[in-house]
Structures are given as C-alpha cells and as structure tokens.
C-alpha cells in the first residue's frame, strides 16, 4: 500500500487517508513506510472568514497551477456531520469540474470535534499527499475566524481571505488570524468598500492583494506572491 501511495495511485491514497481519519492501525502502519520525494511539495494554507470565497478561489488556483504543469492535492476541511462524522459542506462540489483530471486530488475532511481550523487527520493526510509527490498541496481551513492558527504549523505559506464590508471585523483580524498570514487577500474586490479595505490593510501588512474569485481576477498575482513566499521559505529553510 505504501508503494502504491508513492506511485500516486489515487484509490490507494484515498483509502489510506480514510484509515487515518478512522484511526485504524493499518493507516499508521502505512504512514511509517512512506518516504517524501526529493522535490518536496509546496504547501499553501487558505483560511479566512466563512463566506469569503475560499473554495471558489481554490478552484481557480487549481486551474492556474495545472496550466503551469503542476499536480495539485487539496485537503478541504469542513464541519462534521453529527451522524457520520464526515464533512457536511463538501467543498469538493465547488471544484467538481476537476474530478476527471488525474493530476488533481481533492479530499473533504470533517473536523470531528477538532479545534483550530483543521481536521484531526489533516497532518497525516498531508504526509500521504507529499509521499504521493503532488507538486502543490492546498489546505482549506474550516473558516471559523481568529482561532484558525493550526494551519501555520503545516503550511509553508498561509493566505488569509477577507471581504469588503467587514468593518470592525478587520480590526479583529489584526489581533488574530491575519497576524499569522503571509499574504492577505481582499476577495470580492469588485464590491463597494474594496478600495478602502485594501488601503486599511496595507497600512500594517504586506502583501495585500485584490481578487474576484468568481472570475479569477487577481489569481495570477496571487500565484506570483505565493511563489515569492516559497522562494524565501526555501532560502531560509524554515522548518514546519
């Protein structure tokens, strides 16, 4: 099973992640045998407030990275079903047109009571996708606000989304989530108040970018900012 994961057999990747989510001994056994490839994946965390457009933006990021020739793995963390423990919202639905692309793997994960924005098995699932040699791994947090800080411990680059019209919530971001973000994004940047939000955020953080996720506007600039952050990360070899 470990060899099949490292050969990027999608069915095996999915099965092993399920074992890890269910805390089965087989999952731990496979995990111990996995070896990361020589070229490590670029791991990007996408976080922010509910309704800020994280899943829609990720959909466009997948398309952009595939056009660059990169394989992409996505771990989308959602609220858990009280009946099954699985993910309720199913962010894969928003990215469904990538389902037939063999270079893309998307997995929704329920939090199962885990706090901090990630699922209990997210770190182990990340190790599986790294061993499967995906070039880019995008991790979408649940979207609960300031306490989503676990993503910092697993991602090389953290992108935090906000939207125009949050008002006092932008002040709250300064005290929490945005302070751990490497890149801030004002999504829905075509709405009233976007220019004001950008000016306000740029007074104390850089870079701050504008995107319109539904159209893909600003995605090339975001890709470039992530690449620059990764370049710096590789230079200083910051450990995760």
Q: Tell me, what CATH number does 118's domain have?
A: 3.40.50.300
| 3-class secondary-structure state, position 73 | strand
Whether the Cβ atoms of residue 145 and residue 177 lie closer than 8 Å to each other:
yes
CA distance 48 to 51: 9
pLDDT of residue 33: 97
**Residue 149 maps to a domain:** yes
The domain in which residue 189 lies consists of 37-236
pLDDT score recorded for residue 116: 45
Q: Which long-range contacts (CB under 8 A, 24 or more apart) does 23-31 make?
A: 23/121, 26/1, 27/124, 30/1, 30/2, 30/5, 31/124, 31/127, 31/128
Q: Does residue 99 belong to any structural domain of this protein?
A: yes
Tell whether 118 is covered by a domain.
Answer: yes
Percent of the chain with pLDDT over 90: 48
Is 22 among the domain residues?
A: no
Give domain status of residue 154, yes or no.
Answer: yes
Q: Residue 21: inside a domain, yes or no?
A: no
Asked, for residue 7, whether it belongs to a domain, the answer is no
Would you say 151 and 118 are in contact if contact means Cβ atoms under 8 Å apart?
yes
DSSP state for residue 13 in the 8-state scheme: H
pLDDT of 80 reads: 45
| pLDDT value at residue 111 | 65
Query: Assign residue 116 a region: left if phi > 0, alpha if psi is -120 to 50, beta otherwise?
Result: left
Residues 6 or more apart whose Cβ sits within 8 Å of residue 178: 160, 162, 184, 201, 205
Let me know if residue 217 belongs to a domain.
Answer: yes
Rounded CA gap, 104 and 73, in Å? 6
If one counts the domains in the chain, the total is: 1
Q: Which residues of the chain have pLDDT under 70?
A: 79-95, 111-119, 143-149, 166-178, 236-240
Cβ neighbourhood burial of 213 (10 Å; 0-12, 13-18, 19+): buried
């Amino acid at each position: 099973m470990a060899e099949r994961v490292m050969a990027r057999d999608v069915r095996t990747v999915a099965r092993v992640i399920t074992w890890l989510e269910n805390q089965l001994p087989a999952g731990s056994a496979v995990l111990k045998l996995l070896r990361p490839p020589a070229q490590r994946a670029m791991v990007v965390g996408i976080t922010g407030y509910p309704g800020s457009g994280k899943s829609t933006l990720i959909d466009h990021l997948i398309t952009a990275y595939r056009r660059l020739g990169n394989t992409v793995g996505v771990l989308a963390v959602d609220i858990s079903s009280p009946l099954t423990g699985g993910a309720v919202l199913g962010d894969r639905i928003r990215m469904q047109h990538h389902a037939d692309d063999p270079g893309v793997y998307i997995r929704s994960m329920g939090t199962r009571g885990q706090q901090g924005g990630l699922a209990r098995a997210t770190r182990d699932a990340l190790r599986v996708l790294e061993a499967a040699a995906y070039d880019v791994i995008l991790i979408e947090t649940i979207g609960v606000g300031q306490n989503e800080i676990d993503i910092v411990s697993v991602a090389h680059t953290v992108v935090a989304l906000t939207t125009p019209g949050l008002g006092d919530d932008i002040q709250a971001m300064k005290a929490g989530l945005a302070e751990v973000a490497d890149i801030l994004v004002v999504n829905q940047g075509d709405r009233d108040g976007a220019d004001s939000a950008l000016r306000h955020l740029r007074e104390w953080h850089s870079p701050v970018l504008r995107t319109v996720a539904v159209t893909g506007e600003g995605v090339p600039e975001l890709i470039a900012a992530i690449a620059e952050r990764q370049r710096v990360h590789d230079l200083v070899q910051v450990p995760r």
